[in-house]
Structure 1
Amino acid sequence: MKTWFITGTSSGFGRKLTEKLLERGDRVAATVRNATALTDLQARYGDRLWVATLDLTDPAAIRRVVDAAFAELGRIEVVVSNAAYGLFGASEEVTDEQIRHQIDTNLVGSIQLIRAVLPYLRAQGGGRIMQLSSAGGQTTYPNFSLYHATKWGIEGFAETVAKEVAPFNIGVTIVEPGATHTNFASGLVQAPVMEAYEHTPAGDVRRALLGNTFPIPGDADKMAQAMLDSADHAPAPLRLALGRDTYADVRAALVARLAALDAQREIAQSMVQEGA
């Protein structure tokens, strides 16, 4: 039996992972924003489910909840940083308040969670951190600029942490799901619409998403199982791409960036001091 710590367990991947882990006999320390979100699972699984309310925009609360989870449960083998949401709107449309909340939740909150658990994982001799990103951690789509900013940012942070903590037997995996049938779309926070963007790629994506014509091929159950399986792989995979669309979009983005880099090879290599 392993013990997992998972944020954002009210719905989506967090809820799916929690259900699968409890069904197979593991323990879960689950965080939610709504204290009653997991009452059905608490009634069914008793003390194998530890629940705490947590707002990721509150760094002090993150530390309190992490401290309490390790104090009450002892060793926690896997930490899943899952809680996040999407801000939907062209970059000119989103408000200053929306920008701040998106960054504080998805990026700063995830950073602070990882920082809070590292001392415990080091002290116990190792563990695994699973950071939920998305295909949008390496690709971009109109109307998701702030969401992408947080996912590209957390991928850079997590990849660096992986190098820093490898000597302590701590593995880090960045999970990149594609479009999946979860509640992500319904949970999008939308920016005020500007008419200027109606007949642009941003307007096209808005109509596709709100009109339910945006393709969503991913199977949430299969993806959750792949995440659970990856926790047993050693060494930890740095990235876990999940979804046919993730593979196609991320590969296309990487190939395009590599081609652009190769096209600048001559000028890049000429930028050296004389005699160097």
Structure 2
Amino acid sequence: MTNKTWFITGTSSGFGRQLTEQLLARGDSVAATVRNAAAMDSLAAKYGSLLWHTELDVTDTTRMREVVKQAFADLGHIDVVVSNAGYGLLGAAEEVSDDQIDRQIATNLTGSIQLARAVIPHLRAQGGGRIIQLSSMGGQIALPALSLYHATKWGIEGFW
């Protein structure tokens, strides 16, 4: 098996962290993005040059484009891009604040779309690659008090 190079958003915890740890353990290289770079300290110490990491809030499109450009420049080739960053917002639609709505959509939906837009030109230039967008069952069904979360996940399903 040939080792691959991955670009993954939201790697400080949860699925993104687990995926990053497993890929590094098998010898793959990972470009990991987190909102707080210190979250990668233990992995950086353990895996050294296999881990390229930087801070990124996926709601900052300008910064995202810079990070993507730098990752491709530094790593030369990225085989797989995983759009993982996101979170759930619990609350009835009429109870959540305008800021919570804006942040949920910016993180879970717009961030994912902007990541795809940022990486596609690089993937085309290198002759291919894969984009994996993590959604959830929330993009297929709806549960009470998760309407904004579901809206973002349904949006992801529609975009792809």
Find the counterpart in structure 1 of residue 61 from structure 2.
Answer: 59
Find the counterpart in structure 1 of residue 19 from structure 2.
Answer: 17
Find the counterpart in structure 2 of residue 40 from structure 1.
Answer: 42
Which amino acid in 2 is paired with 1:137? Answer: G
Q: Which has the higher contact order (CA 8 A, sep 6+)?
A: 2
Which amino acid in 2 is paired with 1:115? Answer: R
Which amino acid in 2 is paired with 1:83? Answer: A
2:5 is the counterpart of 1:3: yes
Q: Distance in 2 between matches of 1:15 and 1:58?
A: 21
The CA deviation string for residues 167-214 of structure 1, in whole angstroms up to 9 with x for no partner, is xxxxxxxxxxxxxxxxxxxxxxxxxxxxxxxxxxxxxxxxxxxxxxxx
How do 1:113-152 and structure 2 match up within 5 A?
A: 113-152=115-154
Which amino acid in 1 is paired with 2:81? Answer: V
Q: Distance in 1 between matches of 2:60 and 2:42?
A: 27
Secondary structure of the corresponding residue to residue 20 of structure 1: helix
Q: TM-score, normalised by structure 2?
A: 0.98
Find the counterpart in structure 2 of residue 89 from structure 1.
Answer: 91
Secondary structure of the corresponding residue to residue 58 of structure 2: coil
Secondary structure of the corresponding residue to residue 38 of structure 2: coil
Residue 125 of structure 1, CA deviation: 1.0
Find the counterpart in structure 1 of residue 104 from structure 2.
Answer: 102
Q: Distance in 1 between matches of 2:61 and 2:98?
A: 21
Q: Distance in 1 between matches of 2:8 and 2:84?
A: 7
Q: Distance in 1 between matches of 2:135 and 2:8?
A: 14
Q: Distance in 1 between matches of 2:54 and 2:153?
A: 25
The runs of 4+ residues in structure 1 deviating greater than 4 Å are: none
Residue 22 of structure 1, CA deviation: 0.5
The CA deviation string for residues 148-177 of structure 1, in whole angstroms up to 9 with x for no partner, is 00000011111xxxxxxxxxxxxxxxxxxx
Q: How many residues align?
A: 158
Q: TM-score, normalised by structure 1?
A: 0.57
Q: Distance in 1 between matches of 2:128 and 2:17?
A: 25
Q: Distance in 2 between matches of 1:28 and 1:53?
A: 14
The CA deviation string for residues 11-36 of structure 1, in whole angstroms up to 9 with x for no partner, is 00000000000000000000001110
Which amino acid in 2 is paired with 1:11? Answer: S
The RMSD of aligned alpha carbons is 0.5
Residue 58 of structure 1, CA deviation: 0.6
How many percent identity over aligned positions?
Answer: 70
Q: Distance in 2 between matches of 1:58 and 1:18?
A: 22
Q: Distance in 1 between matches of 2:73 and 2:53?
A: 14
Q: Distance in 2 between matches of 1:40 and 1:58?
A: 26
Secondary structure of the corresponding residue to residue 10 of structure 2: coil
Residue 4 of structure 1, CA deviation: 0.2
